[in-house]
Amino acid sequence: MRHPACDSIANTQAIPDTGGGICYTAREFLGSQTRARVGWSARIVSPACGAAMSERSAFLLSPYRLPTHHPIILNDDEMRAWLHGALVLWHPAVLRGGIQPPQVNSPYDHESPQEGQIFALPDAPTLFQPDDWPQRVKIAGALAFTATADRAQTLENLVAGLRSMPNVDEATLKLLDLPMEQLRPFFGLGYGYMVIESLFDAMSHDHLLAVDDFWNDLTQAVEALLQPDSAEQVQMHLRSAAERLQSAREILYPITMHLLDVVRLPEATSDWAWPASLQQGVPLNLLANGQQLQRLEQDHPERLAELKEKLLADVEQPLVDVVGGILCDRPDSLLPLESQLWNLREGKALSESILGRPISIFARQSSAYHPQLPQFLQAEGIRHGLMLTFDNAVMPNYRATVVNWSAPDGRTIDAFTRMPLPAHDAQTFFNLVYTLQQSISQDTAPTVALMHEGKPAVECYEDWLALSQLAPALGTWTTFGRYFNEALAGEYVGAATADEFFADDLDTRSSNNQPDCVSGFVQHAQLRRKLDSAFTLATIYRTLQGGPPSAAEQAILDELATLEASLERRGPQLPPPNVDGSRGDDPLAESLATVLQQSAEQVAARLQVRATDQRPGLMLLNPCSFTRRIVLERDDIRGPIPVDGPIKAAQFDAGIARLVVEIPPLGFAWIPREAPGTAAPKPRLKMADGTTVRNEFFEAELDPQTGALRAFRDSRTRTNRLGQQLLYQPGSKMVASRVEATISGAALGEVISEGELQTEHGETLAKFRQRIRAWLGRPVLELKIDLEPVNPPEGYPWHAYFGARFAWRDERSGLFRGHNGYSTMTQTMRPVTPDFLDVRLGRSSSAILTGGLPFHQKHGTRMLDSILIPQGEIERSFEFGLVLDREQLAPAAQGWITPVIAVPTEKGPPHIGPTGWLFHLDAPNLLLTSMRPNLSVGGSPRSMIARFIETSGFSGLAEWTCFRNPARVQRIDPLNGGVLDLSLTDDRVPLEFAASEMLTVQIDLE
């Protein structure tokens, strides 16, 4: 009579027994060298009849194994069921009496179950087994249970199955009642065993884990569980088993493997909790900006208290590291330089005040990276950062986990580039062997990072933590602070280009139905420049006045600080609408205009202390570090005034004076408001004629049929440099109803076109009005566009929009874009920049000053669209400046958005003359971005802090000349000694700078 246990080998040839009592089927024998460790179990066979005598053994039946050389992608439920089934088999009640660690086998190898065998069957994917296999399990006295995507349900299925088995003993029942905290170390050891055994295969290495000793430790731990007061014995055996796993792993890689547990604070924190690592004393890293920490403090102070307890427990090696450093996540790369630095500065200060510890590692959750970021971080005292993207932005791709990231000026930071694996995704734990193998093979410091994003972690995560409490078998958990001290950079990369970074802020803002998805950047740039101009004028007044600030001066400085916080916290967006949905004036813009005028008035009054009375005039102030030619259109100038001195051109029409005035850098120009008997100036050339405007620098012509800019020529070669038209993407044509010259005088030429954008069938898409202006003596063509769509665009904003298309003649021309004052050639199809775009061919340059409009898209090799109205945008008026052959475009872009500051006075000019400068910089490629009074306690009453950036990519030495001799000058560098005293020569300060460098200096005047 055939024994049922022999059914599985009916069609296979057995390898003869040699007397030891161990017999394998042919299939088992052939695979024993490579597969015994993943599930082929020995069977004790009677030499007389070959029938198997069963011992307890546990198997997960699945066609899958932990991936080693290639990742395997299953759906989340399938991977969870696999992991849960494999790990609950490490329940002490299953291990007790077992002959080997639980294994993973193919279902085909257990078509004939044996007594004492326990099978975990994942509920997905479906296993292919004989139809009567469940009956075979019962007949054989084995146990099979279902493993599901729910760990608790899987464990319940196992426990119910064991309880239902006949003759179950009291010891097993006692083990089945163990709480989860006693089960978790066994599950962790099981996970570690599977990972390390599979890692040997992944590394093509002999299996050197002492399995027998490991198994002996586990069985002794199980037996100790049954004894009273044996917690220490249980822990000792479990730790011994974990250390054996660690020893085996160290054979493969004996150096520290780093594990990073990272938490991103979710937007909604009502049902959110810290991961288990915080309570278990495992190092944790929190990624949060200042506003998120502030919200956590307000909404969940008890959770913040938990965090701070771990954070402040150890000063040298805290269990928690908070990375961030910014106040809020916003598209900083499209904002002015000073806005970016404010976000860093205020974010660090707020985070430190909440946590009680400084932030030393930079991170952000929305992508706004750019090439100059390393030097900006160093300027705020940060030398480490996370270079990660969580919003599918484009970033440079590095193979190393830590790179030495360089800025264009040579400043570097160590940046972590390995994207953390989601802790809530079962794929992370199912493919862990492959992840470890790749990291060991490629990284100078093997690293695995996990990310918690507001979703519960897979149960394997806590199993892993339990294993780590016993021994660092799979690596050592650490914080980013310690990690950067221990892990060396694997790559030293040169400065990245702007093309290597791209975050689709246009799509994000448009998809969120922001009414200012484009215009918000324009308004922010203009308001920020007003604010910086007001600070510059306040600094000039402080250095002129000296002594302690008066109440009025202090009120202006306090108001400026308040307005700066309001502006930056609002970011690139318009104020909220009124209750009725209408949009009125912006209170913030009005307040800024008021305080700017107040700052200008106090400077003008100080400059004119000894001016001649009874001479009405205008005091014009220049907050820029370069000479500006501004234009004025005023109705308070009574009659013609002489065109001499700072006045370069003038025109008087129907009570309106139109002037071009030159103002020295960081200086002033005084012009009279009346000059009786002065004859009106005569035109030197015809400024406008038909459809053309011109001056001594260029000539621009509108097309009489379309109203588009047909030509923009330089006066020397008469070569057409640029053309421009309005369009609706995906298709439209311009049809003009009116094109005529409206102003042609001694100072200004103006031509206006009006018409419609139409489809090819003549349907109206939008009404338009374009105005071009040329001023005598001013090398900028002003282009103003008014668009009123009939139906606003809808859909993906890069494919459906109203825009201004610029075109150039020669496809060999290179396109450059400005970014944070630095110009770089661009090859990307979407060269976002709020500063300028420059078309270059040889020595010729044709530049577009965008005035804060950031989104642009190339078409072919000779055309570029500036996106004006995508879906949701409510602004209808836009302005560009077009310039030719300017050597320094960063100052031109700054001057384009800097307000004209004019103060009416009743006396003048100042006793030193109608024009003059107070500070002078002799390097045109060094641009002043900020100048502020330094009111630190005990400091000089005439102290200021100035920030400069090099804009052309060349190093050099500049001289900063002051109207009063400096007493002391210090260069501020937080990472290299804090401050460095600079030498002085009378009234001049030597400034040595590297290419593309940003430098900050403190100057104390006598």
The CATH number covering residue 973 comes to 2.60.40.1180
Tell me the percentage of the chain whose pLDDT exceeds 70: 94
Which residue would you say has higher pLDDT here, 454 or 658? 658
The C-alpha atoms of residue 802 and residue 193 are separated, in whole angstroms, by 61
**925 and 890 share a domain?**
no
Q: How confident is residue 269, by pLDDT bands cut at 50, 70 and 90?
A: low
The C-alpha atoms of residue 464 and residue 455 are separated, in whole angstroms, by 18
Q: How confident is residue 34, by pLDDT bands cut at 50, 70 and 90?
A: very low
- What is the average pLDDT across 883-902? 96
Closest among 518, 543, 496, 450 to 260, alpha carbons compared: 450
- What is the average pLDDT across 420-445? 94
- Residue 402's pLDDT is 94
Which residues pair with residue 748 across a beta bridge?
Answer: 775
- What is the average pLDDT across 228-241? 94
What total number of domains does the chain contain? Answer: 5
Amino acid code (one letter) for 651: Q
**184 and 95 share a domain?**
yes
- Whether 654 maps to a domain, the answer reads no
Q: Are 797 and 507 a contacting pair, CB within 8 Å?
A: yes
- Residue 316's pLDDT is 74
- Residue 973's pLDDT is 85
- Residue 997's pLDDT is 93
Q: Are 989 and 959 a contacting pair, CB within 8 Å?
A: yes
Render 165-205 in DSSP notation, one character per residue. STT--HHHHHHHT--HHHHHHHHHHHHHHHHHHHHHHHTT-
Residue with tokens 């900028």: 780
Helix axis angle, 231-252 to 211-225, nearest 10°: 160
**555 and 703 share a domain?**
no
Domain end: 203, 230, 252, which one? 252
Which residues pair with residue 838 across a beta bridge?
Answer: 816, 847
- Whether 705 maps to a domain, the answer reads yes
The C-alpha atoms of residue 769 and residue 753 are separated, in whole angstroms, by 6
pLDDT digits (tens, 9 = 90+) for 547-557: 889 999 999 99
Q: How confident is residue 977, by pLDDT bands cut at 50, 70 and 90?
A: low
- Residue 936's pLDDT is 81
**436 and 565 share a domain?**
no
Q: How confident is residue 984, by pLDDT bands cut at 50, 70 and 90?
A: confident
Render 978-1001 in DSSP notation, one character per residue. EEEE---BTTEEEEEE-TT-EEEE
For residue 27, CA distances in Å to 13, 19, 23, 36 come to: 9, 20, 12, 11
**86 and 157 share a domain?**
yes
Q: pTM of the full predicted structure?
A: 0.90
- What is the average pLDDT across 680-689? 92
Domain end: 897, 930, 962, which one? 897
- Whether 644 maps to a domain, the answer reads no
Q: How many CA atoms lie within 13 A of 13 on its CB side?
A: 2
**695 and 838 share a domain?**
yes
**pLDDT above 60: residue 118:** yes
**pLDDT above 90: residue 986:** no
**527 and 487 share a domain?**
no
- Whether 447 maps to a domain, the answer reads yes
Q: Are 83 and 430 a contacting pair, CB within 8 Å?
A: yes
- What is the average pLDDT across 361-370? 94
**pLDDT above 70: residue 47:** no
**pLDDT above 50: residue 20:** no
Please report, for the domain that includes residue 344, its CATH number: 3.20.110.10
- Whether 460 maps to a domain, the answer reads yes
Helix axis angle, 459-470 to 180-202, nearest 10°: 90
**540 and 480 share a domain?**
no
Q: How confident is residue 981, by pLDDT bands cut at 50, 70 and 90?
A: confident
- Whether 662 maps to a domain, the answer reads no
Q: Which residues 6+ apart lie within 8 Å of 159 measured at CB?
A: 91, 93, 176
The C-alpha atoms of residue 886 and residue 953 are separated, in whole angstroms, by 16
**416 and 446 share a domain?**
yes
**Least confident residue range of 204-213, 268-277, 425-434, 449-458:** 268-277
- What is the average pLDDT across 395-403? 91
pLDDT digits (tens, 9 = 90+) for 157-202: 999 999 998 888 899 999 999 999 999 999 999 999 999 999 999 9
- What is the average pLDDT across 471-486? 95
Amino acid code (one letter) for 483: Y
**pLDDT above 80: residue 71:** yes
Domain of 984 in residue numbering reads as 918-1005
| Helices assigned H by DSSP within 203-230 | 211-225
The C-alpha atoms of residue 177 and residue 160 are separated, in whole angstroms, by 11
Mean pLDDT (the chain) is 90
Tell me the percentage of the chain whose pLDDT exceeds 90: 80
- Residue 30's pLDDT is 32
- Residue 499's pLDDT is 94
Q: Which helix (H) or strand (E) holds 772?
A: strand 764-775
Q: What angle do CA 339, 344, 349 make, to 5 degrees?
A: 125
- Whether 665 maps to a domain, the answer reads no
How many beta carbons lie within 10 A of that of residue 891, not counting itself? Answer: 24
Per the rule left: phi > 0, alpha: psi between -120 and 50, beta: everything else, 852 is left
- Whether 233 maps to a domain, the answer reads yes
- Residue 576's pLDDT is 80
**67 and 153 share a domain?**
yes
- Rg over CA atoms, the chain: 37
**892 and 793 share a domain?**
yes
pLDDT digits (tens, 9 = 90+) for 556-591: 999 999 999 999 999 999 888 777 667 778 999 999
- What is the average pLDDT across 109-134? 91
The C-alpha atoms of residue 34 and residue 342 are separated, in whole angstroms, by 60
**pLDDT above 70: residue 52:** no
pLDDT digits (tens, 9 = 90+) for 219-229: 999 999 999 88
Which residue would you say has higher pLDDT here, 849 or 392? 849
- Residue 1's pLDDT is 38
**848 and 957 share a domain?**
no
The C-alpha atoms of residue 482 and residue 498 are separated, in whole angstroms, by 31
Q: How confident is residue 19, by pLDDT bands cut at 50, 70 and 90?
A: very low
The C-alpha atoms of residue 455 and residue 448 are separated, in whole angstroms, by 19
